[in-house]
């Protein structure tokens, strides 16, 4: 949930945005790392294995698919229900554009 993600971010969680780049620059969770679902297979080695991963997309469908795949490979992965839409609707900080 958005509340779990907010608490986890405070504790240094690793947040992965699985949307496409144009969606990401339109607004994303601060600190979220962009790894589009379409690139996941090629980039899975970039993901840390020593802490939980919070997967987020627009509404929660893609992140749930990615979470299922990552869990089957031993990752501690959590899908953020409601996605970026719910994060923005909650009034929490959002970054527009690419992170520097």
The catalytic residue among 34, 53, 55, 57 is 57
Question: What's the confidence (pLDDT) of residue 99?
Answer: 62
Region 11-15 average pLDDT: 87
Whether pTM exceeds 0.75: yes
Q: How is residue 76 written in tokens?
A: 């501690």
How far is residue 13's CA from residue 80's CA, in Å, rounded to a whole number?
Answer: 12
CB atoms closer than 10 angstroms to residue 18: 27
DSSP state of 59: S
Question: Is 47 an active-site residue?
Answer: no
Region 36-41 average pLDDT: 95
Q: Looking at the predicted structure, is the pLDDT value of residue 51 above 80?
A: yes
Q: How is residue 92 written in tokens?
A: 């929490």
DSSP state of 95: B
Question: What's the confidence (pLDDT) of residue 10?
Answer: 78
Strand 14-17: give its sheet, edge to edge. 33-34, 14-17, 53-56, 77-79
């Amino acid at each position: 949930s958005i509340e779990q993600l907010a608490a986890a971010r405070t504790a240094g969680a690793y947040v992965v945005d699985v949307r496409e780049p144009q969606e990401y620059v339109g607004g994303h969770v601060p600190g979220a790392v962009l790894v589009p679902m379409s690139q996941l297979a090629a980039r899975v080695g970039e993901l840390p294995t020593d802490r939980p991963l919070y997967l987020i997309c627009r509404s929660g469908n893609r992140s749930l698919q990615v979470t299922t795949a990552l869990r089957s490979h031993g990752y501690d992965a959590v899908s953020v229900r409601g996605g970026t839409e719910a994060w923005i609707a909650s009034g929490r900080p959002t970054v527009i554009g690419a992170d520097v």
